[in-house]
């Protein structure tokens, strides 16, 4: 049985096997699966990420827990913005883009409302943590 603290490959596998019945709702928030193409390997990588919707598009945060480096999935989508998204049983192609300075404040507020630790993560790093909009293609 998956515990609510798990967030990694087993989370991905359970989510995929159950169309999100296990894994979509996690620790009081919601999770999608993001599949990017490796910028060096060309392989597909799937990552569970907390999300919220804005204007019909999922938004995610490239926090990496406040690490000084962007997460690999973010580096991958910057190199190749065409991504695959799964929310529950729905799978779709999206074009990923980093929210601009005019969009980010409202989106950051929406994301910290669902996961307050994002504010703490930002204090741990000098890099600006990106908010990513996954625009349905």
What fold is seen in the domain 9-136?
Answer: Pnp Oxidase; Chain A (2.30.110)
pTM for the whole structure:
0.94
User: Residue 7's pLDDT band (boundaries 50, 70, 90)?
Assistant: confident
pLDDT tens digit sequence for 37-71? 999 999 999 999 999 999 999 999 999 999 999 99
Domain locations along the chain: 9-136
Phi first, then psi: give them for residue 54, nearest 5 degrees: -140, 120
Average pLDDT, the chain: 94
DSSP code of residue 6: -
Q: Using pLDDT thresholds of 50, 70 and 90, give the confidence band for residue 1.
A: very low
């Amino acid at each position: 049985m998956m515990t609510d603290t798990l967030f990694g490959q087993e989370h991905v596998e359970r989510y995929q096997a159950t169309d999100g019945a296990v894994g979509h709702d996690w620790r009081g928030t919601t999770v999608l699966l993001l599949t990017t193409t490796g910028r060096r390997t060309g392989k597909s990588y799937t990552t569970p990420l907390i999300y919220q919707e804005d204007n019909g598009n999922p938004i995610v945060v490239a926090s990496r827990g406040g690490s000084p480096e962007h997460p690999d999935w973010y580096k991958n989508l910057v190199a190749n913005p065409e991504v695959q998204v799964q929310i529950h049983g729905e799978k779709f192609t999206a074009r990923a883009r980093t929210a601009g300075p005019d969009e980010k404040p409202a989106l950051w507020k929406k994301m910290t409302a669902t996961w307050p630790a994002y504010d703490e993560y930002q204090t741990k790093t000098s890099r600006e943590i990106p908010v990513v909009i996954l625009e349905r293609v």
